Every structure is written in C-alpha cells, then in structure tokens.
C-alpha cells in the first residue's frame, strides 16, 4: 500500500520557532518548539553518511494517518537547518502534534498511577480503536510500548513513533520490537503477520495498565528465579497464581474475563491470537468505560495528586 508524501521540503530557518525543551536524546532527538504561537514536536533524524535517514523516510510515509488516538504528523522535511546544539549536522525532521500530558511510561512506571478496570478498559478501548484503524489501512506499528503511548490534551491515549512501522506490501520488516513487549516471532526475526504482532504487544500493555506498571514477563530472564515467560506459555494457571503473589493481590484481582482476554492476545503462535473483532467481542472489553469528560476529570485528579487511586471497584 503506497502513500504519497505531499509535504516534503526544506524548512527555512525563519520558519523555525524557538526550542523550548529537548525531550529525549538518542538516535532521534525530540524537541518541543513554538511556531506561530503554537507548540509542536520536532523529531530530528540526522543524515547518515550524507544521506537521508531510512528511518525518516519510513516514518514520513505515515503522515496520511488521521485518528484521534494517533499523534498527527503535520510536516515532513528532508532537510531542516535547525541550529540544534546537540546535532551540529544535517538532519531531516518530522513535525507533529504536541501531547502535553506526558507518556504512559511516566504514568505507569514513574508515577505508578493505579488504574481500576474501568480506567484501564477506557485506555485499552482507545488503543484497540487506533490499532483497528491502522490495520484497516495496511499499517502495523510493530513497536508498541509504554514510551510510545502519549497522553493528549484531554488525557486521551495517542500512539506515536512510526519509524519502525510496516506498510502492507513492504518487503522485509525493519522492526524487531522492544524487549518485554514484542511478539516471539518479532524477537526471532520471522514475523509473517505484522498486525498479529501488534495484538501481542497490546496484550502486554493491557496487563501493564491493570498491574500498575508490572510487566507480565521478563522475556529470556528469570524473576527471582521464576521463569515468568515460560509459565505464561506453558503453565498458565501457575502464571496467574505467581503474579497474584508478586503483586500482593488476591487471586480474584485478575478476573476470569481479564485472564481470558490477555491469554487470547498473547498466544505463542500468531495465527492463534485474537483478532480485533475477537477482542471487541470479549466479556472484559465490554465492561464499563469513562466518557471523554469523565476521563479528563479522573486523570486531572490523579496527576494533580488529589486522588492517588481510582476508587472504582477493581471489577467495575
């Protein structure tokens, strides 16, 4: 599935806004800038041996995506003459919308915000809605993880970072996923069903939402001598029993409906995993969720420290 990128150009210095903040360093630094009085994010891709980064070329293809739970791209520039102190070299850049409320890594790991089933389900609905849109448009993200889920202005979930993503009709996949979130076939480099790999990662994220940042497994490492990944694959009852102990929760913390959904999404064999429609038909998925206004009110209380816990019952 080919898409034409219509906003390829060189961005002149006079169109740049002042750099307000550098969000992260690494292969592709990310900056907050102000342009015409509005905040935007700039993701910079340094040239490689005087050539445009293939990661830039890959991510720029997805500028056509338009969904409320996906960060929108509003500018792709092959050469941007930004005076970034940390770069000091030719770079391409992608300009995208600013999600002002941080990311889910900060939410779940740093702040360890407690989510009721109702709150976790609300965000899971948004994640699945976005994935359904992507997959219907021939796109697989292939690097879903907490860092790549942002909180928008209304505290809605937004998927970002498509530099490793795959489009139907592409040849070899360039993504191996991220440790702890990736499907087993991505880990070993033999993925033939990219959307199914996204389903696996979404299942991991569902578990993390529910478990206040606790991952379901540690891939090829043991946790206090316990092979959680092996249990997840080969002794599922024991897997849930051990996790209740690890998280100091009663066994009913993970409801039958929740376990069934998670298990269906994280099957070892890709062709056995739940489809988007299977997920939407599941019992747990069809429980109560927050409205847009309710979600905003709940998250404002949490992030302002007025309420450390969502007081909805865990099975709500």
Q: Domain for residue 316, yes or no?
A: no
Predicted local confidence at residue 22, as pLDDT = 75
Q: Domain for residue 153, yes or no?
A: yes
Q: How many CB atoms lie within 10 A of CB 229?
A: 19
Query: Given 97, 123, 140, which residue is the final one in a domain?
Result: 97
Number of domains in the chain: 2
Looking at the fold, whether 108 and 146 belong to one and the same domain comes out as yes
CA–CA separation, 280 vs 282, rounded Å? Answer: 6
Predicted local confidence at residue 83, as pLDDT = 55
How far are the Cα atoms of 77, 149, 296 from residue 96, in angstroms, in the given order? Answer: 12, 14, 22
Q: Please, are residues 270 and 192 in contact by the beta-carbon 8 Å criterion?
A: yes
Predicted local confidence at residue 274, as pLDDT = 98
Q: Domain for residue 36, yes or no?
A: yes
Residue 110: which domain range?
A: 104-303
Predicted local confidence at residue 165, as pLDDT = 97
Looking at the fold, whether 41 and 144 belong to one and the same domain comes out as no
Annotation says 143 is catalytic: yes
CA–CA separation, 19 vs 37, rounded Å? Answer: 12
Predicted local confidence at residue 84, as pLDDT = 53
Q: pLDDT in tens for each of the 316 residues of the chain?
A: 333 233 333 444 445 556 667 776 567 889 898 878 889 999 999 899 989 999 999 999 999 999 999 999 999 999 876 555 445 678 899 999 999 999 999 999 999 999 999 999 999 999 999 999 999 999 999 999 999 999 999 999 999 999 999 999 998 899 999 999 999 999 999 999 999 999 999 999 999 999 999 999 988 888 888 999 999 999 999 999 999 999 999 989 999 999 999 999 999 999 999 999 999 999 999 999 999 999 999 999 999 853 333 322 233 3
Three-state SS string over 122-181 comes to HHHHHHHHHHHHHHHCCEECCCCCHHHEEECCCCCEEECCCCCCEECCCCCCCCCCCCCC
* CATH code, domain carrying 85: 3.30.200.20
Predicted local confidence at residue 199, as pLDDT = 98
pTM of the predicted structure, to 2 decimals: 0.89
DSSP character at residue 90: -
Q: Which of 83, 85, 103, 143 is catalytic?
A: 143
Predicted local confidence at residue 36, as pLDDT = 80
Looking at the fold, whether 177 and 238 belong to one and the same domain comes out as yes
Q: Is the dihedral of CA 122, 123, 125, 129 positive or negative?
A: positive
Looking at the fold, whether 193 and 61 belong to one and the same domain comes out as no
């Amino acid at each position: 599935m080919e898409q034409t990128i219509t906003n390829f150009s060189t961005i002149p210095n006079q169109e740049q806004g002042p750099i307000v903040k550098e969000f992260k360093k690494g292969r592709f630094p990310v900056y907050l800038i102000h342009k015409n009085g509005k905040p935007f994010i700039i993701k910079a891709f340094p040239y490689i041996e005087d050539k445009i980064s293939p990661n830039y070329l890959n991510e720029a293809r997805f500028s056509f995506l338009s969904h409320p739970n996906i960060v929108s791209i509003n500018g792709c520039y092959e050469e941007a003459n930004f005076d970034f102190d940390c770069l000091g070299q030719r770079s391409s850049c992608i300009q995208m919308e600013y999600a002002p409320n941080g990311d889910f890594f900060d939410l779940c790991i740093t702040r360890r915000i407690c989510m009721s089933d109702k709150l976790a389900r609300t965000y899971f609905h948004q994640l699945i809605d976005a994935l359904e849109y992507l997959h219907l448009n021939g796109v697989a993200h292939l690097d879903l993880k907490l860092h790549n889920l942002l909180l928008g202005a209304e505290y809605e979930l937004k998927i970002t970072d498509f530099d490793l993503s795959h489009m139907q009709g592409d040849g070899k996949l360039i993504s191996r996923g991220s440790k702890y979130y990736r499907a087993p076939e991505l880990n070993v480099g033999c993925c033939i069903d990219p959307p199914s790999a996204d389903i696996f990662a979404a299942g991991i994220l569902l578990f993390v939402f529910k478990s206040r940042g606790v991952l379901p497994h540690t891939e090829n490492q043991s946790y206090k001598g316990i092979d959680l990944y092996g249990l997840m694959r080969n002794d599922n009852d024991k897997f849930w029993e051990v996790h209740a102990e690890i998280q100091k929760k009663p066994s009913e913390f993970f409801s039958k409906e929740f376990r069934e959904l998670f298990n269906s999404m994280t099957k070892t064999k890709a062709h056995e995993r739940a489809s988007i429609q299977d997920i939407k038909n599941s019992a747990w998925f069809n429980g109560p969720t927050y409205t847009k206004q309710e979600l905003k009110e709940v998250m404002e209380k949490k992030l302002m420290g007025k309420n450390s816990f969502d007081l909805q019952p865990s099975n709500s």
